[in-house]
Amino acid sequence: MAAKKEISAGGVVYRKQGNRFEIQLITDRYGKVSLAKGKMEPGETVEQTALREIREETGLNGRIIQHVDMIAYTYQHAEFGEVDKEVHYYLVEALDGTLQAQIEEIKGVAWHTPEEAWGLQRQGGYDNNDVILSKALAMLGINVSF
């Protein structure tokens, strides 16, 4: 039997404060630094999923600038067994809204300088998000090293 397939989408959300960028990071329910993301719903495009999940988890409306990358992995689901997961990440500019964590889903959300965001990701984030955040920062003209 083929593994169940699950598609999620999210983004590296940024805003410009004067001539500096700020990067949004969430703290997930496990206490890990992460990026807002979630599962695609029937009838949605991957882009719509990314923007909806960002809005639901962080309270912000955003605009997709470009696709950053897709990560794929397999995990064990209690009910369905092996699940092939695909997560699409976009570079998303924050437009408006009130920064507010969706406490049912995540523990917190905050803005950071790109340097802080990279340090937090390297310290307390998921390894597979390193490449996503570094690529997104590079798209903004900010280069970080592993």
According to the model, what pLDDT value does residue 6 have?
94
HEC string for the chain: CCCEEEEEEEEEEEEEECCEEEEEEEEECCCCEECCEEECCCCCCHHHHHHHHHHHHHCEEEEEEEEEEEEEEEEEECCCEEEEEEEEEEEEEEEEECCCCCCCCEEEEEEECHHHHHHHHHHHECCHHHHHHHHHHHHCCCCCCC
Q: Say if residue 2's pLDDT is above 80.
A: no
Domain 4-139: give its CATH code: 3.90.79.10
The predicted-structure confidence for 38-97, as pLDDT tens digits, reads as follows 999 999 999 999 999 999 999 999 999 999 999 999 999 898 899 999 999 999 999 988
Q: pTM of the prediction?
A: 0.90
Q: How confident is the model at residue 98 (pLDDT cuts 50, 70, 90)?
A: confident
The predicted-structure confidence for 6-36, as pLDDT tens digits, reads as follows 999 999 999 998 989 999 999 998 999 999 9
